[in-house]
Structure formats: structure tokens, C-alpha cells
């Protein structure tokens, strides 16, 4: 299973790099989608540069989402913080309650166009999977294990850092994986407010009625999501097997 996953990752990564660095290799396929004479390869921006921007906004937003969501998950699973569960769940659910495009519409007047509104929308959208998995992971730690840790004289902080979080880590990492994959697809809408990313290719295709551009952008985003999904799954098995 692990070998098959690594082979799948290598194939997906190779296809992604080929499409980003040498899109001309795919012109026979793209030519089937448009009328003769229609541009086939998006050349306004470097595809690999757009992919790097796409990853950058997702990674930065995901980092904030993970920090906030894990902190909230720890808080509400403590005895003194349990009363904040409803508030924490409402906070982490904000991104799912409001569509990302609505968050963009609300944040653009405040922070302007480009990276910032996309970052805010993705950070909010990525909270819920990480928060819920953090809570589930921490609550899933066996009570007998916690009792044994207390019996050894470990402090609450030591129990959290050395027992609870390591045992909950596989579930938390699964939440981070889900959140990241969701945001890789969601980040495409950032191009509607001037953020650089692969959504720029898709939107350019939609505006020009060019299905070849749309397919290029969609394939790159899909392959990126597959690469990250397989990489996270391999990390989960390698780290927690």
C-alpha cells in the first residue's frame, strides 16, 4: 500500500511539473477542446510561478488555521475551557457558514485586493476540519493512559505535550490534510479579487470562452491537490505506523 501511494505521488507530481513547465506537451489534448486558431497554452504568466503563488497563499492561510484551531481544540478539551465549546465551534464554523466568495466580498473593502482577502478567506475556511479533528483526537485518548500519566506524577502540561498531543496527532494531521485539500481548490477564487494563483488561468479561460485554458488551470489544481493528499497520507503512515 505504501509503495503504491509513493508511486501515485511520483506520477501525479511528474504530470503536474510537466503541465506547469512544458504545457506545450499537452497541446494535442487541448486542441480537441477549442476551435482551430484559438490559443491553447496560457502564456500571460508563468504557470509554475502561478503554482508557487497558489501554494504560498494556501500554506500561509493553513498555518494560521492550524495554530488557531489546535489552540481552540486544546482549550475546550480542558476542564476549565469546556464551557467555551459552543463559542469555539461557532468561531471555527464561520468559514463554512459564509461561502469564501462572501468572505472575499466583505474583506476587500477592509484590506484591498490581492493576497490579503484570499488569505483571510482561506484561513477562516480551513478552521473547522482541524478544530473538529483536534477535539476528536484529544477526547479519544484513553482515560487509563491519562490516569497512568498522572500516577507517574506528570504535570498537566507534560501530559498534554508528551501524552495527549502525540496520541491525537494522527487524527489532527488527518484534519490538516482535509483542510489543505479543501483550500487548494478554494484558493482559485482568489483570482477574482486580484490574487495570483492558478485560478487566474481558469478565470481567463472563462472570460475568453477558452476551454483549453480552463482545463489547464483545473488540471493543475487537481494534480496539486492529489500530490498534497498523497504526501500527507504517506506522512501519516510513516510517522504513526
Domain ranges of the chain: 2-240
Contact partners, residue 138, CB within 8 Å, separation at least 6: 73, 74, 77, 164, 165, 168
Range of weakest confidence among 24-33, 51-60, 120-129? 24-33
* CA geometry: angle 142, 144, 147, nearest 5 deg: 120
Q: Which residue has the higher pLDDT, 162 or 4?
A: 162
pLDDT digits (tens, 9 = 90+) for 223-238: 999 999 999 988 877 7
- DSSP type of residue 34: S
H, E, C per residue of 132-171: HHHHHHHHCCCHHHHHHHHHCCCCHHHHHHHHHHHHHHHH
Q: Band the pLDDT of 239: cuts 50, 70, 90.
A: low
- Residues 6 or more apart from 100 whose CB is under 8 A from it? 121, 122, 125, 186, 189
The pLDDT of 49-53, averaged and rounded, is: 94
Taking residues 186-209, report their average pLDDT: 90
| Cα gap 222→51, rounded to integer Å | 12
Q: pLDDT digit string (tens) for 94-151? A: 777 777 778 888 888 888 888 899 999 999 999 999 999 999 999 999 999 999 988 8
Separation between Cα atoms, residue 128 and residue 121, nearest integer Å: 13
Q: What's the CATH number for 2-240?
A: 1.10.3720.10
Q: Is 23 within 8 Å of 42 (Cβ atoms)?
A: yes
Residue 4 CB contacts under 8 Å (≥ 6 apart), including other chains: none
Q: What is the mean pLDDT of the chain?
A: 89
The Cα 166–Cα 168 span in angstroms is 5
- pLDDT confidence of residue 108: 84
So what's the pLDDT on residue 240? 64
Share of the chain above pLDDT 90, in %: 55
- Taking the model in full, what pTM does it have? 0.89
SS3 state of residue 216: helix
Cβ–Cβ < 8 Å for 193, 108: yes
In this structure, what C-alpha cell is assigned to residue 179? 483542510
Identify the helix (H) or strand (E) that includes residue 48. Answer: helix 47-76
Amino acid at each position: 500500500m505504501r509503495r503504491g501511494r509513493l508511486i501515485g505521488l511520483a506520477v501525479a507530481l511528474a504530470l503536474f511539473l510537466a503541465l506547469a513547465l512544458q504545457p506545450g506537451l499537452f497541446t494535442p489534448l487541448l486542441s480537441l477542446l477549442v476551435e482551430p486558431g484559438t490559443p491553447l497554452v496560457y502564456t500571460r504568466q508563468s504557470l509554475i510561478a502561478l503554482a508557487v503563488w497558489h501554494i504560498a497563499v494556501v500554506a500561509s492561510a493553513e498555518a494560521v488555521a492550524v495554530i488557531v484551531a489546535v489552540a481552540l481544540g486544546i482549550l475546550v478539551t480542558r476542564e476549565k475551557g469546556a464551557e467555551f465549546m459552543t463559542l469555539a465551534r461557532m468561531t471555527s464554523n464561520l468559514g463554512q457558514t459564509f461561502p469564501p466568495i462572501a468572505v472575499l466580498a466583505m474583506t476587500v473593502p477592509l484590506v484591498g485586493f490581492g493576497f490579503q482577502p484570499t488569505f483571510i478567506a482561506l484561513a477562516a475556511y480551513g478552521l473547522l476540519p482541524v478544530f473538529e479533528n483536534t477535539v476528536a483526537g484529544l477526547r479519544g485518548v484513553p482515560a487509563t493512559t491519562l490516569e497512568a500519566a498522572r500516577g507517574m506524577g506528570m504535570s498537566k502540561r507534560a501530559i498534554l505535550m508528551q501524552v495527549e498531543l502525540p496520541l491525537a496527532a494522527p487524527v489532527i494531521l488527518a484534519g490538516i490534510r482535509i483542510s489543505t485539500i479543501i483550500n487548494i481548490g478554494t484558493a482559485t477564487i482568489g483570482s477574482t479579487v486580484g490574487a495570483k494563483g492558478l485560478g487566474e488561468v481558469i478565470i481567463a479561460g472563462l472570460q475568453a470562452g477558452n476551454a483549453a485554458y480552463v482545463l489547464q488551470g483545473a488540471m493543475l489544481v487537481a494534480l496539486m491537490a492529489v500530490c498534497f493528499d498523497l504526501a500527507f497520507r504517506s506522512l501519516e503512515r510513516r510517522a504513526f505506523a
